[in-house]
Amino acid sequence: MKKSSRWSLLLVALTAFCAAGTIIGFGTGRAEYDIVEQFKQAVGQKQMSDWHPPIVAVVWRCLYGLTGWIGSLFVCSALLYFTGVLLTAEYVHRRLGSRLGSLGVLAVSISPWAYSQINIPWKDTILTGALLAGCGCVMLIRRGARSKRTAVLALVAVGALIFATLVRKNAIAAVVPICFYLSWQLLPIAQRTMRKLQARSSAASSSLRRFVAWLAGSFVLIFAVGGAAVVADAGIARVWHVKETHQEYQVMLDDVMFSVPEDELNAADVTPKLKKRINTSRALCYERGVFYDAYWNCFGRGHGGDYQPIEESHRQGLEKLWRENVITHPARYLSYRWSVYRFYLTTSALEYFQYPVNTAQEIGFGTGPEPFERAVKTYVLDFGVEKLGFTFKPWFWLTGCVLVAAVALKRRRAAAAVLTLTASAFLYTAAYFPVIPEAHFRYTHWPAVAVSIALIAAFTEHFRGKSKRPAETADGPLREKTSAL
C-alpha cells in the first residue's frame, strides 16, 4: 500500500474517532426551544411550519422513523460535519501534499470555537457540515479531469449546496463563491467538449472566451442550486402541508419600531391599534435595554416555543410603514441597521449550550457521560471563551477573511480553495447586515470553521518540509499568469 493511501486511512481513523467520541460523549445532543419545536413537528405533534426550515423536520422525521431515537438528528449533523472535515483534510493531504496540514484541519475542526456548537443540531451547524462537505468535494476534483470520480464529486457537491440552501435561506450568499470554484474546476472539461465547435482565434479572444465561459458556468450553477432549493422547498410545503409564518415581518417590525420616530409613526396612515402596539412595545424594549428582535423581546410573543406569526391584521400596516417610512429614509435605516450589526460583530451569546431546556428534558433529551461533559465545558468555556474570547466574536472572523485571503494571493498556495472559503465566510457574515436577529455565536459557526481551515491551507508550504515530489495540487494553475482566466 502506498504511503499516501496509508495516510488517508489514518485520516479516516482519526476523523472517525473524533466523530464517535462526539456522538457518544454528547448523547442525544443538546436542545433548546427551536430544536424542541422542530422535533414536535417531526413526530407530528405540531403542524409543520416554515418558521424553521421544513427540510430539517422532514429529515428528522425520516431518521426518527428508522431509529426511534430522539438523538438521530444530532448524529446526522455530527456525521455530516466530520465528513466535511475529512474531505478538506484529504484535500490538504492529496492536493497540497501536506500531511501536517491535514492534521491541522482536524485540529481546527475540534478547536473551542468550532467544537462549541457541535453538540446541538442547530440549522447553523447542519449548514456548516453541508457547506464543508460541498467545499471538500469541489476541492478534491482534479481540475479538467474527465472521469466518473469527477462527475460523482461534482454531483455530491451540488447536492450538498442545495441542501445547505434549504437548511438556511441566507446560505445562498455562502454558496455563491463555491459555485464559482466548481465552475472553474469543470471549465477545462467544458472547453474540450465545445472545442470542435469553436473556430481558431487569437490568444486574447480565447482568454476572453474562457473568462466569459467561467462566469456563465458559475451563474448557471448558482441559479441551478437556488432553483432546485426553491422547487424542493415548494414540494415539501405541498406534501407536508407546511404552515406559512411570514417571518419577513419580524425584520420589518424591528426596522419600523426602532428607526421610525414616534411622532412620524403616529402620523402614518395605519390602524390606531398597530400604532399603539408598536409604541407600547418600543417603550418596553427600551426599558429592557434591547433594540433588536422586538418580536420576542417586547412585542408580546415571549419565549418558550410560541412560534405564531404576527397577526394578519398587522402585516399590511407593517409593510406600508416599512415601504413609506423606513426605506424612504436610507440614512436613518442604515444607521439603525449598523447599530444592530455592530452589536452582533462585537458581542457573543450562547457560546456553549450545556444542558437541554426543561421542555427538552421532558420529551427525552439528555446529556452524555458526566466526565466528558465536564471536560468539554472546561475546554470550551474555561479555556476557549475565557482565554481566547476574541475567537468567539464575529469581527475577528470577518477580519480573518480579508487577511487570510491576502495571504493566499501573495503566496499563491491553494489560492482558489482559500479564496473560496474566505469569500464564502465573508459574504455569509455580510448578508446578516439587514436581518441579524440576535448576537448568538451559532450565526458565526460557518465563518469560524471556514476561515480556520482556509488559514491551514494558506500556509501549507510551511507544513510540507522537504518533499521529494510535488503536490498533486488542483490549484497549481493559479500560480501562472494565465490562471486568472
The reply to whether 435 falls in a domain is no
Does the pLDDT of residue 466 top 90, yes or no?
no
Domain shared by 136 and 272, yes or no: no
The residue range of the domain holding 335 is 248-340
Determine the average pLDDT of the residues in 22-43: 93
Identify the CA nearest to 155 among candidates 144, 173, 141: 141
Domain shared by 207 and 105, yes or no: yes
The tens digit of pLDDT for each residue in 242-259 reads 998 888 899 999 999 999
Looking at residue 484, its pLDDT comes to: 34
Q: Per-residue confidence at 474, pLDDT binned at 50, 70, 90?
A: very low
Identify the domain boundary among 340, 362, 396. Answer: 340
State how many domains the chain has: 2
The three cell numbers of residue 404 are 487570510
The reply to whether 459 falls in a domain is yes
pTM higher than the cut 0.85: yes
Domain shared by 202 and 277, yes or no: no
Looking at residue 247, its pLDDT comes to: 86
pLDDT: is 92 or 304 the higher one?
92
Q: Return the bridge partners of 243, or none.
A: 49
pLDDT: is 1 or 117 the higher one?
117
Looking at residue 209, its pLDDT comes to: 81
The tens digit of pLDDT for each residue in 123-182 reads 999 999 999 999 999 999 998 788 899 999 999 999 999 999 999 989 999 999 999 999
Domain shared by 369 and 452, yes or no: yes
Q: Which of 21-25, 34-38, 70-74, 130-134 is least confident?
A: 34-38
Domain shared by 166 and 269, yes or no: no
The reply to whether 345 falls in a domain is no
Domain shared by 320 and 366, yes or no: no
Q: Which of 180-194, 208-222, 283-297, 370-384 is least confident?
A: 180-194
The tens digit of pLDDT for each residue in 325-334 reads 999 999 999 9
DSSP 311: P
Distance of alpha carbon 391 from its chain centroid, rounded?
Answer: 17
Domain shared by 364 and 316, yes or no: no
The residue with cell 451540488 is 158
Q: Which of 73-87, 116-130, 400-414 is least confident?
A: 400-414
Determine the average pLDDT of the residues in 201-212: 68
Domain shared by 132 and 200, yes or no: yes
Domain shared by 136 and 81, yes or no: yes
Domain shared by 384 and 415, yes or no: yes
Does the pLDDT of residue 485 top 90, yes or no?
no
Identify the domain boundary among 296, 315, 340. Answer: 340
The reply to whether 318 falls in a domain is yes
Cα–Cα distance for residue pair 418/138, rounded to 1 Å: 12
Q: Which of 238-247, 281-290, 307-316 is least confident?
A: 307-316
Looking at residue 302, its pLDDT comes to: 41
Cα–Cα distance for residue pair 40/360, rounded to 1 Å: 10
Q: Per-residue confidence at 355, pLDDT binned at 50, 70, 90?
A: confident
Cα–Cα distance for residue pair 31/365, rounded to 1 Å: 7
Looking at residue 165, its pLDDT comes to: 97
The reply to whether 379 falls in a domain is yes
The reply to whether 328 falls in a domain is yes
Looking at residue 482, its pLDDT comes to: 32
The reply to whether 180 falls in a domain is yes
Domain shared by 332 and 477, yes or no: no
Identify the domain boundary among 292, 313, 340. Answer: 340
Cα–Cα distance for residue pair 157/130, rounded to 1 Å: 9
Looking at residue 460, its pLDDT comes to: 85
Q: Per-residue confidence at 304, pLDDT binned at 50, 70, 90?
A: very low
Cα–Cα distance for residue pair 43/65, rounded to 1 Å: 9
Domain shared by 315 and 329, yes or no: yes
The reply to whether 446 falls in a domain is yes
